[in-house]
Amino acid sequence: MRRFPPASLVAIVIVLSLLVLAPIATASDKYEKNENVKIDPAKKPAPGKALIYFARTQVMGAAIKAKLYAGEEFVSILASKSFVPWECDPGKHVFAVVAENAGLLDAEVVADKIYVVQVAMHMGAMKARVHFEVARKDSEALEEFLKAKEDLEGITTTDDGRAWAKEDAENDLKKMKKYREKGEVETLKPEDGTDTLP
């Protein structure tokens, strides 16, 4: 007589399989990565503008989708090994990246300069935490960007991804406020910019 595993064991295996496969199955419904869109080292900001590259170089936390905001405006989802270019006027700007927590960036940029900001994911005790790291001269963030920049791909948020961000917007704004009150803010300074991409 053939013996089958207890029903509870089968149920556990199924649930664990779904948990492992769920990020793989759902990742692409919110965004599309394009392996043909790479960072162009010759690209310059439009005259009188600054260009900021937000890059997520790490593979860690690949299943976690981070939402990038400029002020309260949703910009894009950032997946692992992707980048988003953001052109803006010179002056002060506020950016946020939101996942389980919120990472904040107070930026002051000048015209005709290029800036690189890494969106980093680190595992905490109970959940992954996301934050910004400015890729300034001699920084670990710059080293990581230089090693990964040729492998980074452009990313486009899908309609499903935009709908998801819109549904989460109120909660995301609360997270931004909470982490600003905690003082967890990175700073991007005018002198962090370069004339050409590092």
**What CA–CA distance (Å, rounded) separates 25 from 37?**
23
Calculate helix-pair angle for 7-30, 159-181, nearest 10 degrees: 100
pLDDT digits 0-9 by tens, 31-75? 999 999 999 999 999 999 999 999 999 887 778 889 999 999 999
In a domain, 5, yes or no: no
Pairing of strands 114-123, 50-56: parallel
Asked whether residue 165 is domain-assigned, the answer is: yes
| 6 falls within a domain | no
Residue 152 CA to residue 159 CA, distance in Å, equals 22
> How many structural domains comprise the chain?
1
125-148 average pLDDT score = 91
- For residue 9, being part of any structural domain is answered with no
Which of the pair, 122 or 177, is modelled with greater confidence?
A: 177
Average pLDDT, the chain: 87
pLDDT at 136 over 80: yes
Whether the per-residue pLDDT at 27 is higher than 60: the answer is no
197 inside domain = no
Has residue 15 been placed in a domain?
no
Q: Which domain holds residue 51?
A: 29-192
Which of 133, 130, 137 is closest to 191 using CA atoms? 137
Average pLDDT over residues 131-153: 96
Model-level pTM?
0.83
- pLDDT digit string, tens, across residues 153-183: 999 999 999 999 999 999 999 999 999 999 9
| 94, amino acid identity | V
Taking a C-beta distance cutoff of 8 angstroms, is the pair 100, 178 a contact? no
Residue 8 lies in a domain: no
Burial of 119 (0-12, 13-18, 19+ CB in 10 A): buried
CB 135 within 8 A of CB 117: yes
Judge contact between 50 and 87, C-beta under 8 A: yes
Beta strand 66-70 pairing with 128-134: unpaired
Residue 12 covered by a domain = no
